[in-house]
């Protein structure tokens, strides 16, 4: 008997459909609500705009009338057009201005064909007309930004919904389905030892229980047969019956396998990805602060830390604290759900407490506290709780949670409520998820391997080098650059980098280095547009880093430590190049060449190993 495994497309299609449906529903709902609000407020806004334009027109016409009364002809007035341009640029109610003399000739104008309300200019027997073209309602630009934000929010909602459903299929339903099919294969081959699993619910759980009950009936029939054989042996004085029975039982015992003294309805030890989901939720909340940290640190200033290192030092302190917390989390302390809950509460306090932070030193301490708590929780969940996930699958899930969903969410509400209030919202979110993180799933009794100081391999080094530029972009360059005053733009660029990393294929070092070189070239701003060049650089660096993760994370000896080193390297390169007056593009170019050189130092890792 052969059981067909589920097709991967059958897993991805429902997730994609649900994501598209959610994005369309959210987008249309937001669009209709915005249009309804605009229809209600548009008359009042248009009236306010017309009133403002009329006020500007009367004031400007009065100025020219005064000049005529002084005997200065309009065509002799110097700098009329620059003056009109300054008025139009500084008055949001005015789109354009034009002066037309009594003969209908245009004396000066900010643009051709200016039409609108007319205001008379008269003095010393001379007359003219000032034409004022009113701007559309003042909120048009704001409305465009809101529409863009709503579109991004709708796409985000769809991506999160599709990601959650896809993750459920990939990390919960698909493994349970595979286990059920594997159990059916074993039963079909004569192995009646499979057990029911308790981590699943729904039809797969019911099918597993039904299979276990069927196995139990087979075991009951075998026990009856064994009891009958024992009775026969009891009355078999010369052994002739026993020899005949043995001839019957031998093919059965060699063909079928049973778990003696065990009931088919016994529940197997839990195996699942609950801990992975809890880590993903935690990192989504924790990493949502990344778009704020660098620019928040810049605004706090410091009399001790050089300007180039202002956005870097809090992140370096946080990274070191996270490493210390991870070491504590993988120890026996990580077994305690109470300590996990306490760490979650402290993380919430560190995030929310930033709302009241006014000094640089206190901010560094708060970030270090958040890092040690997050490191402790993540290590405790991945080491002491049941995890059934490959390194590559875990890395993809965490990239989606920490680098795609988190910055988009934080960018959206930071634009709405501000940066400081954003920290407060993150603190509240961390407080709400603390019980789920601490008590979501029972811990396992397995003993974690002792940390080793084995030498790093080539995949470790390539992984650290290739992901360092992406870490620098997400942690410092974007928050201190295009995302400094526009959180939505900076967060969108970070999400673009993560998206490129998610869709990137596994590439050899030469391919990763080429992608990084493209990113380095884009950092030189060859397009003459800082925003466009930054977006291109994010896509290229995400592609190079994601390809390195997918090709090296399975073969690396210390993959998670390598990623931590990548973050430290990216931060150090950012601070050092800024201090030396150099561009980050130079450092990224050197890193790209080193990664590409790895092609000639060893073979590319073949297949990722299990976690």
**Higher pLDDT residue, 213 or 575?**
575
pLDDT in tens, 323-373: 999 999 888 888 888 898 899 999 999 999 999 998 999 999 999 999 999
Work out the average pLDDT over 363-385. 90
Q: Using CA of residue 51, residue 53, residue 58, residue 59, what is the dihedral sign? A: positive
CA gap 193, 452 in Å, rounded = 37
Q: Are strands 191-192 and 257-258 parallel, antiparallel or unpaired?
A: parallel
Alpha-helical (H) ranges within 418-483 are: 419-439, 458-472, 478-480
Which pLDDT does position 517 carry in this prediction? 93
Structure tokens at 19: 């994501």
Which pLDDT does position 139 carry in this prediction? 61
Alpha-helical (H) ranges within 358-418 are: 360-384, 391-399, 406-417
Alpha-helical (H) ranges within 524-599 are: 530-552, 559-579, 584-597
CA gap 493, 532 in Å, rounded = 10
User: Do 216 and 208 meet the contact criterion of CB atoms below 8 Å apart?
Assistant: no
Which pLDDT does position 257 carry in this prediction? 66
Tell me the β-bridge partners of 122: 127
Q: Does residue 271 surpass a pLDDT of 70?
A: no
Nearest to 131 by CA among 60, 79, 51, 63: 60
CA gap 31, 416 in Å, rounded = 17
Alpha-helical (H) ranges within 70-121 are: 80-90
Which pLDDT does position 317 carry in this prediction? 93
Tell me the β-bridge partners of 191: 257
- How far, CA to CA in Å, does 209 sit from each of 215, 313, 322? 10, 55, 43
pLDDT band at 474 (very low <50, low <70, confident <90, very high): very high
Work out the average pLDDT over 67-76. 77
pLDDT in tens, 403-418: 888 888 888 778 777 8
Task: Return all residues near 535 (Cβ < 8 A) that are at least 6 apart.
Answer: 493, 496
Q: What mean pLDDT is reported for the chain?
A: 79
Q: Is 356 helix (H, G, I), strand (E, B) or coil?
A: helix
Which pLDDT does position 268 carry in this prediction? 44
pLDDT band at 265 (very low <50, low <70, confident <90, very high): very low
Work out the average pLDDT over 533-542. 92
Give the containing element (helix H, strand E) for 148: helix 140-168
CA gap 413, 390 in Å, rounded = 34
Q: How many CB atoms lie within 10 A of CB 387?
A: 18
For the chain, what are the domain ranges?
Answer: 1-189, 190-271, 272-451, 453-611
The most confident of the ranges 141-155, 338-352, 546-560 is: 338-352
Global confidence as pTM: 0.66
Please check whether the domain covering 272-451 is classified as CATH 1.20.1250.20.
Answer: yes
pLDDT band at 112 (very low <50, low <70, confident <90, very high): confident
Tell me the β-bridge partners of 129: 100, 120
Q: Does residue 503 surpass a pLDDT of 70?
A: yes
């Amino acid at each position: 008997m052969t059981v067909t495994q589920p097709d991967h497309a059958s897993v991805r299609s429902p997730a994609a459909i649900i994501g598209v449906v959610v994005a369309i529903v959210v987008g249309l709902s937001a669009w209709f609500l915005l249009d309804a609000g605009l229809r209600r407020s548009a008359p009042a806004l248009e009236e306010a705009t017309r009133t403002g334009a009329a006020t500007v027109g009367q004031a400007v016409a009065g100025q020219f009338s005064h000049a005529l009364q002084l005997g200065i002809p309009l065509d002799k007035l110097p700098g009329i057009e620059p003056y009109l341009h300054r008025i139009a640029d500084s008055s949001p109610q005015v789109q354009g201005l034009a002066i037309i003399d009594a003969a209908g000739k245009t004396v000066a104008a900010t643009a051709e064909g200016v039409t609108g309300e007319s205001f008379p200019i008269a003095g010393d027997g001379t007359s003219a007309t000032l034409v004022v073209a009113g701007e559309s309602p003042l909120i048009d630009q704001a409305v465009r930004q809101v529409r863009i934000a709503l579109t991004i929010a709708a796409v985000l909602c769809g991506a999160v919904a599709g990601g959650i459903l896809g993750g459920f299929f990939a990390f919960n339903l698909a493994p349970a389905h595979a286990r059920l099919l594997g159990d059916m294969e074993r039963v079909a081959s004569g192995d009646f030892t499979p057990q029911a699993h308790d981590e699943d619910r729904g039809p797969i759980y019911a099918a597993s229980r039904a299979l276990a009950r069927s196995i139990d009936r087979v075991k009951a029939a075998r026990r009856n047969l064994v009891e009958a054989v024992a009775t026969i042996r009891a009355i078999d004085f010369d052994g002739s019956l026993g020899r005949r029975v043995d001839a019957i039982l031998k093919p059965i015992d060699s063909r079928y396998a049973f778990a003696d003294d065990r009931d088919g309805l016994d529940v197997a030890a839990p195996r699942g990805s609950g801990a992975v989901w809890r880590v993903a939720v935690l990192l989504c909340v924790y990493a949502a602060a990344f778009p704020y940290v660098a620019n928040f640190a810049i605004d706090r200033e410091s009399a001790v830390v050089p300007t180039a290192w202002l956005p870097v030092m809090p992140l370096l302190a946080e990274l070191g604290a996270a490493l210390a917390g991870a070491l504590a989390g993988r120890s026996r302390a990580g077994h305690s759900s109470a300590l996990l809950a306490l760490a979650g509460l402290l993380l919430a306090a560190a995030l929310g407490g930033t709302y009241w932070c006014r000094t640089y030193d206190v901010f560094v301490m708060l970030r270090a506290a958040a890092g040690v708590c997050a490191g402790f929780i993540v290590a405790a969940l991945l080491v002491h709780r049941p995890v059934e996930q490959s390194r590559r699958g875990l890395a993809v899930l965490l990239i989606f949670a920490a680098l795609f969903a988190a910055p988009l969410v934080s960018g959206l509400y930071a634009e709405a409520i501000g940066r400081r209030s954003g920290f407060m919202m993150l603190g509240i979110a961390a407080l709400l998820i603390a019980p789920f993180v601490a008590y979501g799933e029972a811990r396992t009794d397995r003993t974690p391997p002792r940390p080793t100081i084995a030498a790093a391999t080539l995949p470790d080094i390539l992984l650290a080098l290739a992901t360092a530029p992406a870490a620098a972009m997400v942690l410092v360059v974007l928050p201190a650059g295009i995302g400094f005053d526009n959180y939505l733009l900076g967060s969108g660029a970070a999400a673009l980098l993560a998206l490129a990393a998610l869709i990137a294929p596994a590439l050899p070092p030469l391919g990763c280095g080429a992608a990084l070189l493209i990113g380095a070239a884009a950092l030189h701003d060859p397009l003459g547009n800082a925003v466009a060049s930054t977006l291109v650089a994010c896509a290229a660096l995400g592609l190079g880093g994601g390809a390195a993760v997918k090709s090296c994370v399975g073969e690396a000896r210390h993959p998670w430590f390598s990623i931590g080193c990548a973050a430290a390297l990216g931060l150090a390169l950012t601070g050092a190049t800024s201090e030396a007056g150099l561009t980050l593009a130079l450092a990224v170019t050197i890193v790209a060449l080193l990664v590409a050189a790895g092609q000639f130092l060893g073979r590319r890792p073949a297949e990722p190993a299990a976690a």
